[in-house]
Amino acid sequence: MKRKSVLTILIISFLIPTLCWAEEILRCRLENGMRVVLRERHTAPVTAFQVWVEVGSADEAPAEAGISHLIEHMVFKGTNKRRAGQIAGTIERYGGFINAYTSYDYTVYHVVIASRYQEKALEVLADALQNPSFDPQELAREKEVVIEEIKMGEDDPGHKLHEVLFRNSFRHHPYGRPVIGSVQNVKEFSREEVINYYKRWYVPQNMIFVGVGDFRAYEILSRLRGLFTFSSHPLPPRKRTSEPPQDTFRPFILRSEVKERYFALGFHIPSIKNEEVFALDLLAAILGQGKSSRLQRELRFKQGVVSSIYAYSFTPKDPGLFVIGGVFRAGAIKKGIKGIIEEIRRIKIRGIGTEDLRKVKVMVEADFTYDRETAQGEARGLGYFEVVMGDATKEEEYLQGILQVKREKIREVAKRYLRLENLTLCLLLPEAEEEITDPHALEEIVKELEVTSTPQKQMGEMKREVLENGITLLFKEDHSLPVVGICGVFLGGVRFEEEDKAGLTHFLTEMLTRGTKSYSALSFAQEVDSIGAILKTFSGRNSFGVQAKGLSKDFPHLLRLVAEVITKPTFPPEEVEKVRGEIFAALGKERDRMIPWTIRLLRETLYKKHPYRLDVLGEEETIKRIRRTDLVRYYKRYAVPQNMVLAVVGDARWEEVVKYVRKSFQGWHRRGFSPPSIPQEIKKRGVKRK
């Protein structure tokens, strides 16, 4: 911890009655009861401020459902000093960003801004949170905005399935109600009801100010005392109905005008305060996080019965839910459900291996570190733990708890919580889907479920060098976290595609990790996961490439993996067909969503000749037309050293970066490169109306 001068401590002690410095985190409480959590971070001239209000949708009575979210919208819609639009406008004028979100347990207002303008951000946040005007006209407009959000959610298959799962898993607890509320409730909220709810919960002792960034903590404390001057009053009791234990399997089938077959399984689990949460988080990672996770490996890559699958543990203040979800392929619903059940059974019976546990611990540790890369991310973590655990410093304890989990504990929590009578299974299917028609038939399928701080340093200047083979290498040094990011980018994308082969670039990038001279698709995914790294490909309108992130101790290994997919892809024929099927599924999901199709129509209207009119994913007809030879030809033409910019940022040194890049890309020789001619779009004049 940095040493503080005696004078500074005396000043802060005079201002603040309760003060705690712990691992460079300052936690205290203002005289009016408002809690403050601050951490100085001088790696960049940026500051993140957040105000966490300990009220969310789970604190609402049924008739109030959605009012917390509506108030979140209204807080930025004007005060006595600032009209609607001026709150966000002031922050944006100084190059900052301001927003808010509502959850089951809390509502968060957050701003990120250059540190030299942090005084302005404090003033705006304090004014907005203490003095919202709840203007009747603005309230009427914002209610319409929220109603449109509700309707958009109803059109989103993933959102709709989530609501069905939570509604049927939590029949008594308010976690079963949508955070956003219902159209009827939102329409009926009066201005008086909104103001009364605000006054009831928006009081100092129910609010936490979190700040991370380029500031001096004692200066921020002094300003907070002068800005947040509202008085406190006793909080009302929180009336959350407990969810009784589930004692029977709950199957549900919902039909809608969708193209794909969406699924979600939910098992009741404890709240975040239960020590078994560490093992449950690791179990979720083992099952469905990372391409080499068990469900991805078995059901997506080996059996091909799902086009996507994931798992996570939802662990809020009150008991939560262990969720497995995704999209089944056509004709594979029963086989897919059986596959999920079999993987859970396997863990219950055999447990997991030492290497599996080591790998997921590395993954979780890496994710935990990545979340702290930005001031905003670090503030979010501190605020979350202060709200749900009552102490921001418990963030570090969470990581230690993860690292101490033993193999047998994973098996134990799987047996305790992933049980048939504790399961709710929901399917969202096309109207004409015939494979499953009776929800009760699902029980026969699932019955097999039963079995007996880092020191902070300034970032360096960007360095640039063109290597002998033509690669343009960029590097920026940053030792604030033990993380390195790598991105290799090529000119290409939709802009370089022909209409009859639309989607070729996206197809190519999906293939880069599906087999190389040294790895199969599965072994490559396992290699990436073994070091807790993230490696993925991308394609867009003007470029394509590979990006990766990992712990700095694994930088040479990670760079070799990046070079492997860039320089040595083999385009295995069997993987070409698998990827083709996944693209068809992605196109089907896109058809189920209104916004992507609206954007597509806009693009096709704006561009008649230019390739920008084409969709990144392509069309079903063009994807059918693409052959392995097309992929190889495109790769050889554009994936050449002179066309690549390789950027490295993070905890490394310039000399070692240059050395490892030369070593990893040796043998990748300079080849001729010239971009294709692009059709020019005729500039439109005026506005076309119909």
- Beta strands at 472-477 and 644-650: parallel, antiparallel or unpaired: parallel
pLDDT exceeds cutoff 70 at 128? yes
Q: Is residue 233 part of a domain?
A: no
How would residue 685 be classed by pLDDT, with cut points 50, 70 and 90?
Answer: low
pLDDT exceeds cutoff 60 at 456? no
- What is the identity of the amino acid at 515? G
pLDDT computed for residue 457 by the predictor: 46
For residue 595, give the CATH number of its domain. Answer: 3.30.830.10
The position carrying tokens 């603040």 is 16
Residues 156 and 27 in one domain: yes
- What is the identity of the amino acid at 659? K
pLDDT exceeds cutoff 70 at 499? yes
Residues 221 and 120 in one domain: yes
Q: Is residue 458 part of a domain?
A: no
Residues 264 and 189 in one domain: no
Q: How far apart are CA 630 and CA 497, in angstroms?
A: 11
- Helix (H) and strand (E) counts in the chain: 25, 18
How would residue 451 be classed by pLDDT, with cut points 50, 70 and 90?
Answer: low
CB atoms within 10 A of CB 611: 19
The position carrying tokens 């091909």 is 304
Six token digits for residue 628: 């392995």
Residues 433 and 480 in one domain: no
Q: Is residue 382 part of a domain?
A: yes
Lowest mean pLDDT, pick from 365-369, 574-578, 683-687: 683-687
Q: Is residue 669 part of a domain?
A: no
How would residue 9 be classed by pLDDT, with cut points 50, 70 and 90?
Answer: very low
pLDDT computed for residue 368 by the predictor: 86
Residues 221 and 185 in one domain: yes
pLDDT exceeds cutoff 50 at 103? yes
Domain boundary among 421, 449, 477: 449
Residues 255 and 317 in one domain: yes
Q: Taking all residues of the chain, what is their mean pLDDT, rounded to a whole number?
A: 90
24: left (phi over 0), alpha (psi -120 to 50) or beta: left
The position carrying tokens 């889907």 is 433
Percent of the chain with pLDDT over 70: 93
Number of separate domains in the chain: 3
Residues 144 and 288 in one domain: no
pLDDT computed for residue 461 by the predictor: 84
Residues 195 and 302 in one domain: no
Instruction: Tell me which of 1 and 124 has the higher pLDDT.
Output: 124
Q: How far apart are CA 117 and CA 111, in angstroms?
A: 11
pTM: 0.84
Q: Is residue 607 part of a domain?
A: yes
Residues 406 and 472 in one domain: no
Helix/strand/coil (H/E/C) assignment for every residue in 96-140? CEEEEEECCCCEEEEEEEEHHHHHHHHHHHHHHHHCECCCHHHHH
Segments in 352-481 forming alpha helices (H): 354-370, 375-388, 394-403, 407-417, 441-446
| Residues 328-337 pLDDT 10s | 999 999 999 9
Phi, psi at 85, each rounded to 5°: 95, -25
3-state SS class at 476? strand
pLDDT computed for residue 684 by the predictor: 55
- What angle do helix axes 6-15 and 217-227 make, rounded to 10 degrees? 20
pLDDT exceeds cutoff 70 at 2? no
Six token digits for residue 99: 């927003």
Q: Tell me the residue range of the domain where 46 lies.
A: 6-227
What does the pLDDT average to over 76-81? 93
How would residue 671 be classed by pLDDT, with cut points 50, 70 and 90?
Answer: confident
Q: How far apart are CA 471 and CA 665, in angstroms?
A: 9
Residues 288 and 333 in one domain: yes
Lowest mean pLDDT, pick from 226-235, 608-617, 636-645: 608-617
| Residues 385-425 pLDDT 10s | 999 999 999 988 999 999 999 999 999 999 999 999 999 99
Domain boundary among 402, 418, 449: 449
pLDDT computed for residue 421 by the predictor: 94
pLDDT exceeds cutoff 80 at 664? yes
Q: How far apart are CA 49 and CA 210, in angstroms?
A: 6
What does the pLDDT average to over 481-499? 92
Q: Is residue 245 part of a domain?
A: no
Instruction: Tell me which of 520 and 454 has the higher pLDDT.
Output: 520
Which residues are within 8 A (CB) of 176 and not within 5 positions of it... i.e. 6 or more apart? 166, 167, 168, 169, 170
Considering just the CA atoms, what is the radius of gyration of the chain in Å?
A: 27
What does the pLDDT average to over 197-225? 96
Q: Are 399 and 368 in contact (CB under 8 A)?
A: yes
pLDDT computed for residue 22 by the predictor: 43
Q: Is residue 80 part of a domain?
A: yes
pLDDT computed for residue 615 by the predictor: 85
What does the pLDDT average to over 189-195? 97
3-state SS class at 48? strand
How would residue 613 be classed by pLDDT, with cut points 50, 70 and 90?
Answer: confident
Residues 195 and 263 in one domain: no
Residues 424 and 549 in one domain: no
Domain boundary among 449, 480, 498: 449
pLDDT computed for residue 683 by the predictor: 60
Q: Is residue 677 part of a domain?
A: no
pLDDT exceeds cutoff 90 at 378? yes
